[in-house]
Chain A
């Protein structure tokens, strides 16, 4: 005996949604591997293992059915999103600490799947950014610029010993395009001068712009599969574009173009994969638009005027805190009513 409806959408489950999102990340991961070498694969594997272990531990401690919840794929997704946000060539503990904090503190101490207020991957990122700022700036050099293409053996060596024999770390890592731009602008160079540096590509950074394009592709796939709605990514990217265009229009020698902002840093990853996280984003259409706009604006403000080269994590965390309020004030009009919520 069960109550109606007696039939459910075939094949729809939390696990299948998470799997589709993971699948949508694959093109970007492939591009990452192509442009920056094998380090990202090690990072993703380590993040996955840590996420599953931390999830299992917390489920066990909270006396939840471990296998049932472990198979939903949400922990692995958190691990992947964090691994894709931090430097892939890093000591092993960086990704382990970040992922562990994300799952244990940001997710389970807030009530587990569906209950966390803040995006776990972004909490993990923020903790690492604040605790290990130096390590968080060692990004791998694009292979086409590297004097020494790093091998998978060397990646593992660096991961577990923290050093590379016979290779200077500076030979395989460098600052990100956003970081470089920020530093160079503070040295009184103009945007066009800075963008002539070899690290910059046609509109973003070399390699990173291709990865950003792949995030965009994956995001379009999620839109097509109706896993996400257009509201968040469109408002996010539109807000970022408009504010970047405004400042770029005022002084193009000090403010980079909108296209540059769209295709560098975590903009595309954030717009399609992080700001769209169901649990920590608004559920109403208008709420999503407000949320996306807020993240887009904050992202720009932190990037250009703040202390960090990129602002995706902090802008999302700030907006996460506003989600209950946004939802409460953006309830859509109900059928047969004049307004959404009765006072």
Chain B
């Protein structure tokens, strides 16, 4: 048996998994219209590759990865592009985003699919294929996988961790996928392992999913991959927490797992890697748990872009919807939004299932939040600093290490929405930092301008003096014509003298400017100053 480690704190919220894991994954009906957001991943949004009126095939790339941290998006079904415009998307901000709308032709006709023999292909070609297949982390963070699966300058990758923990209550999409498609997940893991060449491959699954564990174990037979049952403790599926439980290593603050030789990826992502490489199918669908106050809680395999309203058949007194789990998910009031790669669960919430939160009391410093914080932060201190806008202190107490898992709010007897305070403080600090940089740059520009004006003044004075000197010299030469030296030589001498003065002044100026810490932007006053005068 592998020795497991513990992360600090954690909570045991009611699991509510049984509601939705009793039925197999069902295919969602083909929608009449799909709305595909171009931004379904961390990084730059994809660049549209089609225009309104174009006919597209299922699996055709309609948005290409734009830049390094980006991923492609694809037509989930065949049809005609009817709009490329802003549409409501499932995002905590509630802001609309650029989407490509496709009217389905009902044929669901595939584009020609090309599989790749990853064992013979060069790794970069495989990664390239992953990027163009739109593979992103399906655990929720939607980070482009091809970036993650690039060891770059890193030395040896020690451990490849597959995250099948699914620690959030209510969600069972990974559970069901592991139960039903374990062999395909393992094929995906093979590809990942081939790219990364890790010493070991660990598949972490919380021990409240015995069926998934059994399925994955039998699929892993004959491989060196190890399925590890980890204790059910929220947020045990957090990347850094799972790595700590499995390896005992802590990902240093502000760094990524790869810095300690670990790569962590979701099991559902491994499934899409397999589909992309071995079948040439990009990410055009995903398994999503529909649960809560619905007629029949179940997992559906639905096309990306399907309006969520078409998947959710809610029961009577639904008050709102939660995208994701109850601990970290966000609220939506209407379902006129498309399914995206990031959405693993939709919970129809009713007052009975999610009673309104009681009014907040003052913090009594009971410290229960600190006892459950998986990062070993002191949430009560962070709350105090955040609500009093003491942002420097909040930062010093490591506010930015908070993963917003919600454990602190979950246990707070005063019902303080702690995580909201941290989000507020974080965004304020980011804003302040941005403003400070902008202010510094403005100050620098102003200094440049002052210096330039000063220099121009001096140069003007120097030119005047030069002219005067030349005139005097000429006069003197004229007066003593022929006696001393010719006037031309005198004027030349004066000019040389003035040029030497100018060069000296320029040199001194350059010395004063060179240690500037911030490079000035290309445009603006600062740039003009670098031009030769």
Interface residues of A, Cβ cutoff 8 Å to B = 1-10, 12-14, 16-17, 68-69, 72, 74, 112-115, 229, 278-279, 281, 283-284, 327, 331-337, 341-343
A284 B370 Cβ-Cβ under 8 A: yes
Could you tell me the distance between the alpha carbons of A342 and B377 in the complex, rounded to whole angstroms?
Answer: 13
How many chain B residues sit at the interface, stated as a range, is 35 or more
B328 A5 Cβ-Cβ under 8 A: yes
A334 B376 Cβ-Cβ under 8 A: yes
Query: Of B72-80, B352-360, B435-443, which binds chain A?
Result: B352-360
Closest to B415 in A: A8
B13 CB within 8 Å of chain A: yes
Could you tell me the distance between the alpha carbons of A279 and B364 in the complex, rounded to whole angstroms?
Answer: 5
A residues less than 8 Å from B251 (CB atoms): 336
Taking A6-B322, A334-B398, A335-B240 as known contacts, 19 extra A-B pairs with beta carbons closer than 8 A to each other, sorted by chain A number, are A1-B320, A1-B331, A2-B331, A3-B420, A4-B328, A4-B404, A4-B406, A5-B326, A5-B406, A8-B357, A9-B11, A229-B367, A278-B364, A281-B365, A284-B370, A335-B377, A336-B375, A337-B401, A343-B396
A342 B370 Cβ-Cβ under 8 A: no
Could you tell me the distance between the alpha carbons of A278 and B366 in the complex, rounded to whole angstroms?
Answer: 5
Could you tell me the distance between the alpha carbons of A240 and B140 in the complex, rounded to whole angstroms?
Answer: 52
B419 A336 Cβ-Cβ under 8 A: no
- What's the least CB distance linking B295 to chain A, in Å? 21
B residues less than 8 Å from A68 (CB atoms): 359
In the complex, number of A-B residue pairs with CB atoms less than 8 Å apart: 148
B410 CB within 8 Å of chain A: yes
Interface residues of B, Cβ cutoff 8 Å to A = 7-8, 11, 13-14, 92, 169, 240, 244, 250-255, 320, 322, 326-331, 333, 349, 354, 357-359, 361-367, 370-371, 374-378, 380-381, 395-398, 401, 404, 406, 409-415, 417, 419-420, 423
A8 B377 Cβ-Cβ under 8 A: no
A14 B397 Cβ-Cβ under 8 A: no
Could you tell me the distance between the alpha carbons of A278 and B380 in the complex, rounded to whole angstroms?
Answer: 12
Closest to B319 in A: A1
A14 B410 Cβ-Cβ under 8 A: no
- What's the least CB distance linking A260 to chain B, in Å? 33
A7 B354 Cβ-Cβ under 8 A: yes
- What's the least CB distance linking B244 to chain A, in Å? 8
Could you tell me the distance between the alpha carbons of A16 and B510 in the complex, rounded to whole angstroms?
Answer: 70
- Which of A4, A13, A278 is close to B365, meaning CB atoms less than 8 Å apart? A278
Most buried by B among A69, A281, A335: A335
Closest to B370 in A: A283
Given A6-B329, A8-B409, are A114 and B363 neighbors across the interface (CB < 8 Å)?
A: yes
Could you tell me the distance between the alpha carbons of A128 and B344 in the complex, rounded to whole angstroms?
Answer: 62
- What's the least CB distance linking A176 to chain B, in Å? 32
Given A284-B370, A334-B377, A341-B397, are A5 and B365 neighbors across the interface (CB < 8 Å)?
A: no
A9 B376 Cβ-Cβ under 8 A: no
B362 A13 Cβ-Cβ under 8 A: no
A residues less than 8 Å from B413 (CB atoms): 9, 12-14, 16-17
